Amino acid sequence: MNIIGHMLNIKKTNNLKGVNMKHMKHETVANVGDTIRANDFMPREGMNDCYIQGKVIEKGNCDDKYYACYKISLTKRVMNGKDITPKIEDKIWYVPFEIDFDEHDQRVVKVKESL
């Protein structure tokens, strides 16, 4: 099933509200203003960290993306365990709410950035 198919899963119910909305896996992790970390892959023994971290500036259907996501202002980029943030030119990144490959519970998490 493609990612768009997960966006709205409306089912008729017998309650007064009439619909039951299904959220995508990481859709409710954070809100605008929160800081998130998105792992490139599931952490595995013997593999160094790879992730992006940033402040959520938009949520949902962002810009021209065909998927629902978090739009973040990048504050940290770690590749192979090394902070490469100063080398990154693009400061706006997109984190999908749900993916088909290598999806896991800790792929997107809300974090508190140190001041």
CA distance linking residue 66 with residue 35, whole number of Å: 23
Q: Return mean pLDDT, the chain.
A: 75
pTM above 0.75, yes or no: no
Which pLDDT score is estimated for 55? 96
Sign of the four-CA dihedral 63, 104, 6, 111: negative
20 in any annotated domain: no
Q: Band of the pLDDT at 9, cuts 50, 70, 90?
A: very low
- Domain count across the chain: 1
Which pLDDT score is estimated for 23? 75
pLDDT at 12 over 70: no
88 in any annotated domain: yes
103 in any annotated domain: yes
The answer to whether 93 touches 29, Cβ cutoff 8 Å, is: no
Among 35, 67, 64, 66, which Cα is nearest to 51's? Answer: 35
pLDDT at 85 over 90: yes
21 in any annotated domain: no
pLDDT at 92 over 60: yes
Range of the domain at 50: 26-111
47 in any annotated domain: yes
User: pLDDT tens for residues 35-64?
Assistant: 999 987 766 676 788 899 999 998 988 888
